[in-house]
Structure 1
Amino acid sequence: MDSVRDTLWINTRIATCDAHQPEPYGAVHGHALWLRGTHIHALLPQEQAVREFAGRGEVIDAQGCWLTPGFIDCHTHLVYGGNRAAEWAQRLQGVPYTQIAMAGGGILSTVRATRALDEDELALASLARLKALMAEGVTTVEIKSGYGLTLHDEIKQLRAAHKLATSLPVELASTLLSAHALPPEFSDDSDGYIRHICDVILPAVAREHLAEAVDVFCESVGFSPAQTRRVFEAATAHGLRVKGHVEQLSNLGGAQLVAEFSGLSADHIEYLDDAGVAALAKAGTVAVLLPGAYYFLGETQKPPVAKLRAAGVAMAVATDLNPGTSPFASIRLAMNQACVLFGLTPEEALLGVTRHAAQALGRATSHGRLAAGCVADLLLWDIEHPAEIMYALGTNPLSRRLFRGTEG
């Protein structure tokens, strides 16, 4: 039997992002991190660690650099075909979105481009985006469907996401988002499409274990709270967790609905009200902030960060990577935007892509922290302070990226 590989990281400053560590960033100094195989074995005072580790494996001198957990991008639409740069240019010149959509643009243009590709072509078209996230330290990524909107094409999207993840050192959290937009086949029958999701698409995806959660765009331009409830009920019946695109453009009470179903996360939430904040706090549902879309769309309504903070609601930060409203394959940009646009502290932004992002994907016990028993996904940064990770963009201070204890 092959022995498990042990490594010990010494002379490092460690931002554990662990709530059990009282210092900002969960920082510990004078400690060493002991990895055993794919997981963290121990975090110990360095002298003790070196003594106990002697002769067990490789000792790595971090030379004073910072270690953080691997980053988790907990909300992306990474797998899609085509792009909408021409549409963006039209919007910049004042062409209304409704006019663009009537001319064949908008989300349905991405649906057409996605449907036109087979599974391998779709994976290849999305590869550079995933590699860009990984280059900035992402080790776990959530990828949604929602640009197929038929049984065949939704499954194709999810399979393409799995194909990408199995070919690279990254973990996938896959989400079914068939209730993203109304497909042309159901243009006058939104209730009929919801029935199709609940009776056909969702059961098929569950049988093939292609998704671990189900999402709905609950909005006036998406699907109603009543329709969202039906999808959530079907998801729960098939053993899948729920999350929601909610309160982005208006307040329909979607966050309270997510909380009612013990949902993993309520995402966007710019129009979240006090009742919604209280519901998330009571349910332990994570608030996922998506500043890329807020920036790209030129929005002015900000999520109620101060109220979320006061209520103790965990706040995650994600890229919302998608072709229409947040075409940014940069987790560090999302962190920077969360600080500058939404008022998060750098510590909150780092927790937003580690511990709280792990919670938003149902991985709170195993991911997003540097603590014994957690996966050995970690990043080595050539910086003097953790705030530097999101402070200056254009250069990348990431020195080494480990996935399950192996560099890559």
Structure 2
Amino acid sequence: MQTDFLYKDCTLATMEQGANNYGLIENAAFVVSAGRILWRGKMNELPAEYTKLESESLEGRLVTPALIDCHTHLVFGGNRAQEFEQRLKGASYSEISKAGGGIVSTVNATRNASDEELLNGALKRLDALISEGVGVVEIKSGYGLSIEHELRMLRVARKLATLRPVKILTTWLAAHALPPEYAGKNANRFDDYIDDVVIPGLRQAASENLVDAVDGFCENIAFSCVQIERVFAEASALGLPIKLHAEQLSDQKGALLAAKYNGLSADHLEYLAEDDVPTFAKSGAVAVMLPGAFYTLNESKQPPIESFRLHAVDMAVATDCNPGSSPISSILTAMNMACTQFSMTPEEALAGSTRCAAKALGLQNEYGEVKVGAHAELAVWDAAHPAELSYWIGASLLQKRISHQEPS
């Protein structure tokens, strides 16, 4: 049975590390074998042994790696449209959170939703991402805030991978907020919650193979670095990589904590001090830009993009799709926002949603580049140049996905 296949007549944006100008190859072709890239290059350099393969002309279209959304909260119940209205009337994210809104309101809706409701809601958001060329998605827990409901979220996320040809990675984010049963007028029992829910729940999630990484929300309205470090120590003992919501609303030095634990990424980073960028850079962690939250919360302090460039920090771009601070299920919109809100270039934005996003998930060399040996997860676009992917807003540019990945 022949498994090799030739795609020809296209422009390839390989997005390979170290390549300039998107790694563009014009008048290109590529060969897929057993779900991997076997060869890629110019049409006139196609080896003779591949010329008689079954083939498809892509009619001059642009081909990129399948896009990767490396930071999402796709599984949740309800929505927070009313809080959107409150923010427009002047209430801050912190004020809404302290008044019982924010994450806690989604926790209540998520706990009250059935598995089927959670699955169907997440499928709609996942399908929106897939329609824009996404082939890999990270999904966090964090809206259950009890062992039972956090595990339920992860099971729903894992189920999604059996229903769509997309790779899904799951992240334990029980250290997202304090659930209402642990909050009181006299004391907020963050340490008790970590002891009772976050750490034992993580152990159970790991034992059931439900988790690929561990995250936390390190912020002045959430968990301190000292508390998050307890979670990271347990993650390390379990052999799980870490990520961190850091420096979104204030400088808590969370990015340095992520660097200390050789984290895959630190995400948000609007308040990261420029003096801390060199230390963060030495860790090799990815800085994940989440312009959707910046836009939705009407923030004004930008991440230190120039310092990231100066110190060669890889910058990923993700939707942060969630019902409160980033109700966006469009990776292309996030790429546009990364350019317009954070002054990233279109090439940086595309690298951020391909090669750098893969690194933020520990998938470098497997996804995010069109190179020999990588998975043949690609996107074919009705576009002449890759800058168009960040330029158009709300356009349906995807012609099709090339996916050699079947549902689990």
Please, what TM-score do these two structures have when normalized by structure 1?
Answer: 0.95
Task: Verify: 1:171 aligned to 2:167, yes or no.
Answer: yes
Residues 197 and 231, structure 1, Cα contact 8 Å, conserved in 2: no
Equivalent residue runs for 1:6-405 within 5 Å: 6-20=4-18, 22-49=19-46, 51-56=48-53, 58-97=54-93, 100-101=96-97, 104-187=100-183, 188-404=188-404
Structure-2 separation of matches of 1:310 and 1:98: 32
Deviation string 1:255-280 (CA, Å, 9 cap, x unpaired) is 01000100000000001113431122
Q: Post-superposition shift, 1:28?
A: 1.4
Q: Post-superposition shift, 1:182?
A: 0.3
Identity %: 47
Q: CA separation of 1:383/1:96 partners in 2, compared to 1, >3 Å: closer, same or farther?
A: closer
Residues 16 and 355, structure 2, Cα contact 8 Å, conserved in 1: yes
Structure 1 residue matching 2:222: 3-state secondary structure: coil
Structure-1 separation of matches of 2:15 and 2:61: 16
Q: List 4+ stretches of structure 1 deviating above 3 A.
A: 95-104
Q: CA separation of 1:9/1:77 partners in 2, compared to 1, >3 Å: closer, same or farther?
A: same
Structure-1 separation of matches of 2:42 and 2:131: 30
Q: CA separation of 1:122/1:4 partners in 2, compared to 1, >3 Å: closer, same or farther?
A: farther
Q: Post-superposition shift, 1:54?
A: 3.1
**More moved, 371-380 vs 83-92:** 83-92
Q: CA separation of 1:98/1:52 partners in 2, compared to 1, >3 Å: closer, same or farther?
A: closer
Q: CA separation of 1:268/1:96 partners in 2, compared to 1, >3 Å: closer, same or farther?
A: closer
Residues 132 and 330, structure 1, Cα contact 8 Å, conserved in 2: yes
Residues 174 and 198, structure 2, Cα contact 8 Å, conserved in 1: no
Name stretches of at least 5 consecutive residues in structure 1 with no aligned partner: none
Deviation string 1:98-147 (CA, Å, 9 cap, x unpaired) is 66446542211100110012323211121111100110011000000000
Structure-2 separation of matches of 1:406 and 1:385: 29
Q: Post-superposition shift, 1:389?
A: 1.0
Q: Post-superposition shift, 1:198?
A: 4.9
Deviation string 1:285-306 (CA, Å, 9 cap, x unpaired) is 0000000000000001000000
Q: Post-superposition shift, 1:4?
A: 4.9
Q: CA separation of 1:366/1:70 partners in 2, compared to 1, >3 Å: closer, same or farther?
A: same
Please, what TM-score do these two structures have when normalized by structure 2?
Answer: 0.95
Q: CA separation of 1:192/1:64 partners in 2, compared to 1, >3 Å: closer, same or farther?
A: same
Q: CA separation of 1:136/1:220 partners in 2, compared to 1, >3 Å: closer, same or farther?
A: same
Structure 1 residue matching 2:229: 3-state secondary structure: helix
> What RMSD in Å do the two structures reach over aligned CA positions?
1.6
Name stretches of at least 5 consecutive residues in structure 2 with no aligned partner: none
How many residue pairs are counted as aligned between the two chains? 403
